[in-house]
Amino acid sequence: MTAPDTRPTIRLKPKADARAIRHGMPWVYADDLVTDRRTKALAPGSLAVLEDAERAPLALATITPASKIIARVLDADPQAEIDQAWFSTRLARALALRETLYDAPFYRLVHAEGDGLPGLIIDRFGDTCVLQPNAAWLEARLAPLTAALQEVTGVAHVLKSASGRARALEGLDDASGPLAGAPPARIAVPMTGATYIADLAGGQKTGLFYDQRPNHAFAARFAKGARVLDVFSHVGGFALAALAAGAQSALAVDGSAPALALAEEGAAATGVADRFATRKSDAFAALETLATEGAQFDLVICDPPAFAPAKSALGQGLRAYERVARLAAPLVAPGGALMLCSCSHAAELAKFRAACLRGVGRAGRASQIVYTGGAGPDHPLHPQLGETGYLKTLMLRLLP
């Protein structure tokens, strides 16, 4: 590990906004950094002292020379030691928030930059934590990070998930596996009145999406006695919450047979299997087929994957969100509700909302916006980084 007094330095260009770094901005883009031969030769994940254009120290950063986000600020103290004690301090701060928010240890424990740990995602499932190290500086420090995580939380099991898209951009492998203990492959998770089955070893991301928890709860307010359609359902997120709240029936649509099997297990564990059905299908095809069948639902939820994962895909992504809304709106009974979601950080709320409203309008439906939501409070936003507020959710009431 590099001693603080021997760390290399990296320097902002004169045009770069050093004040933003001083005020807490955690990212430095490649266009704002002097990238001479020495800087380009630094190993991904190296620690370096970030200086302003006049060579005054600003912060301790980690560098990935080939990335557009070339440096990430780790600490305002350029001499900070990134060791187990440092991780423990950050993790204890993150844990204190979650213990304030939740009665049970099922939540996102670390939300990357939002918790001062760039590139790191940790989801907690009782006595097990699933860790996604999506940056090179973390990959090189898994041992002290894991030790700190167990020290602070007392969990017995830690599993590394290498499924994040960002890992490839950092030049990292896709090898997942246990870091401590013997993590279970699957676990039952109580949430929003339902029981979900999380596939920790083989599921998407960490195995379950905690971010939609408050939106599950809001949608469930419309569920009592309702016929519910949950499209892009994954492991039954909205459908199971709706059934637990008294929905008459719920149909979950997803393209993944394993995800739907987990949803069925969750329905059985929740005690609602008799009111739950699944359909394996491409979501767009399913929406079109249901329309030809004359199907009607009192509550329709569409929670697709990121259609606009980057700015370059924004136009195509917004057209996809518009299409989802246009196909879903005719399936909503008069006076019913339509919830539309986006996890694309590149699609800001105003553009996502406009696309959804265009789609609903082109379906010939009039609507009211009754709710705008985001991720739960276990996904805190970094004040200077809009990307941490990636999730957008709209609830529309479709008028008769």
Q: What is the pLDDT along the chain (400 residues), one digit of tens a residue?
A: 556 568 999 999 999 999 999 999 999 999 999 999 999 999 999 999 999 999 999 999 999 999 899 999 999 999 999 999 999 999 999 999 999 999 999 999 999 999 999 999 999 999 999 999 999 999 999 999 999 999 999 999 999 999 877 787 788 888 899 999 999 999 999 999 999 999 998 877 788 999 999 999 999 999 999 999 999 999 999 999 999 999 999 999 999 999 999 999 999 999 999 999 999 999 999 999 999 999 999 999 999 999 998 889 999 999 999 999 999 999 999 999 999 999 998 999 999 999 999 999 999 999 999 999 999 999 999 999 888 889 999 999 999 8
DSSP letters of 135-146? Answer: SHHHHTTHHHHH
What's the one-letter identity of residue 12?
A: L
Is residue 267 within 8 Å of residue 273, measured between CB atoms?
Answer: yes
Q: Is 343 a catalytic residue?
A: yes
Q: Where does 187-398 sit in CATH, by number?
A: 3.40.50.150
CB atoms within 10 A of CB 271: 12
Distances (CA, A) of 344 to 72, 125, 338: 21, 25, 19
- Residues of each domain in the chain carrying CATH 3.40.50.150: 187-398
DSSP collapsed to 3 states, 182-240: CCCCEEEEEECCEEEEEECCCCCCCCCCCCCHHHHHHHHCCCCCCEEEEECCCCCHHHH
Residue from 129, 341, 343, 356 carrying the catalytic annotation? 343
Q: What is the pTM of this model?
A: 0.93
Looking at the chain, the number of H-run helices and the number of E-run strands are 12, 19
Q: Where does 84-184 sit in CATH, by number?
A: 3.30.750.80
- Residues of each domain in the chain carrying CATH 2.30.130.10: 4-75
Handedness of CA 86, 89, 93, 99 (dihedral sign): positive
Is residue 367 within 8 Å of residue 396, measured between CB atoms?
Answer: yes
Q: Where does 4-75 sit in CATH, by number?
A: 2.30.130.10
- Residues of each domain in the chain carrying CATH 3.30.750.80: 84-184
